[in-house]
Chain A
Amino acid sequence: MGKAKQIDRRWLFLLIFFGVAFPLIFTLGLPLETTKNVQMVYDLIDNMPKGSKALISFDYDPASMPELHPMAKAIVKHCFDKDINLIFTAMWPMGVQMADDIIYQLKDDYPDLEYGEDYVNLGFKAGGMITIQSMGKNFREVFPKDMNGNNIDELPIMEGINNFSNIGFVFSLSAGAPGIKEWVQIAHDAYGRPTSGGVTGVSAPAILPYVNEQQQLTGLLAGLKGAAEYEILLKAPGTAISGMDAQSAAHLIIIIFIIIGNVNYWRNKKAEKMGGK
């Protein structure tokens, strides 16, 4: 038995490229099921009383947009459908623009939305955990003004909002630190507010243990699949669902090449053994 040849990895790149591109052009419509963690997030928002106030923290930047932007859009859409007033903030500087972009994308669906009444963007504040901790004591100390320079006491949405006890739930869209972990540690573990979130696939394994009996996190959206599942529950197909066919195709290619790699490894080992004899 001859030694198996190595495949030039550029062929694999090309295959992945076309494997992802084709399902995006020619939709396959592969089945997708929703999971318990995503259902928990959906139920949390769906069961909020009309007129509640929620805090959504945009803790990511354009590098994580493909994964987190679709879930941000779905979550914000669900909140607006349920008449939940939204307070946007960001622990990442460019999160401010991410929140703005979501509102820009949804403005045609919700033409009656009023800034300062239905939603507000408080902007970015440096400090991570310390900032969140201060928000738990007094919102106004951390954000005396919104991102446009308006005094938050003059905004109707901020009426009666002094700390986390006046917030229905906290939701962090997180691509790393500071992000969802800090929100769990402060908003839930220190102040007892229901906390949920969406994270990139890379950080999901580290965050999933917080979805536990203690309900440190009330559900979690993990990566593009989490976003796609939420779009299904919301019955509002978006870029996440359309990307899942491509995701499955790419995974299939990876699995096939892992098998080929292992077979090659096994053949090489056998060839070496036979050569040794």
Chain B
Amino acid sequence: MEQFFATLGIWLGALFTFAIFSFLYKDNPFYKTAEQIFVGLSAGYWSVYTIFFILIPNLYEPLTQNFNANWIKLIPAILGIMMLLRLIPKIEWVSRFPLSIVIGTTSGVFFLRYLKSDVLNQLTATMINPFLGESWVIVIGKIMLIIGTICGVVYFYFSKKHIGALGVSAKIGIYFLMVSFGAAFGYTAMARISLLIGRLQFLLGDWLGIIQP
């Protein structure tokens, strides 16, 4: 029986893959059906997951098993219910309170972390002696890092017209930005092709058995 369901799963996977791929030719009922089933399944899966793996273990069980030690969890529970009240137009305004707490807390926590990791540590990482390197390639890399960082930041300085030395630096900054956009495009192309490779490895391996899965 287990084998039967495993095989059925592989066949369904293959058929749905083709149904989704068929959109590349043009929109059609097979694609539409696969899309709707995916949306429905996802909604059902996440509803069940949220109840059984988030609400029950994190709220229901602690409250029912040891209320005295966990009563504080009632506060987020009430805030959660208040958030859901935005579904009732007359008392929609109540949801603003939990929302404001979420926004305030998140910005407070994130501000400190991002300031340290993305500003201070990143800046410190560029304050280096570029001539201390094992090879000339590393030295050039370090020099490029410093020039790229400074010129990139200069490009985003808008309080003075980009002319003269500032204009040249900004122009160099643009070139560095262009290179980074190119790298980002390259990585994105690689990622998308990787997804196709994954699907084809499934079709040719698990489904058809032509290659080793």
Name A's B-contacting residues (CB within 8 A).
10, 13, 16-17, 20-21, 24-25, 63, 65-67, 93, 123-124, 126, 129-130, 133, 181, 184-186, 189-190, 200-202, 204-205, 209-210, 212-214, 216, 222-225, 239, 242-243, 246-247, 250-251, 254
* Known contacts A25-B211, A184-B117, A186-B113; is-contact A250 B196 (Cβ 8 Å): yes
Residues of B within 8 A of A242 (CB): 201, 211-212
Residues of A within 8 A of B183 (CB): 205
Please name the 9 residue pairs, one residue from A and one from B, whose CB atoms are nearest each other, closest first. A66-B198, A201-B191, A212-B125, A224-B194, A201-B190, A243-B197, A201-B187, A250-B193, A205-B184
Contact sample, A vs B, 15 pairs, CB 8 Å cutoff = A20-B193, A21-B200, A24-B200, A67-B194, A185-B117, A201-B188, A205-B183, A205-B187, A213-B128, A216-B125, A242-B212, A243-B194, A243-B201, A246-B197, A251-B190
A129→B191 contact, CB < 8 A:
no
In the assembled complex, the Cα of A65 lies from the Cα of B109 at a distance in Å of 31
Give the residue of A13, A63, A189, A251 whose beta carbon is less than 8 angstroms from that of B193. Answer: A251
A13→B198 contact, CB < 8 A:
no
Is B100 part of the contact surface with A, judged by Cβ < 8 Å? no
Chain B residue total in the interface (Cβ 8 A): 38
Is B107 part of the contact surface with A, judged by Cβ < 8 Å? no
Residues of B within 8 A of A66 (CB): 194-195, 197-199, 201
B24→A223 contact, CB < 8 A:
no
In the assembled complex, the Cα of A239 lies from the Cα of B199 at a distance in Å of 12
Give the residue of A20, A65, A185, A210 whose beta carbon is less than 8 angstroms from that of B200. Answer: A20
Give the residue of A17, A214, A243 whose beta carbon is less than 8 angstroms from that of B125. Answer: A214
A247→B113 contact, CB < 8 A:
no
| Smallest beta-carbon distance B116→chain A, Å | 5
| Smallest beta-carbon distance A118→chain B, Å | 25
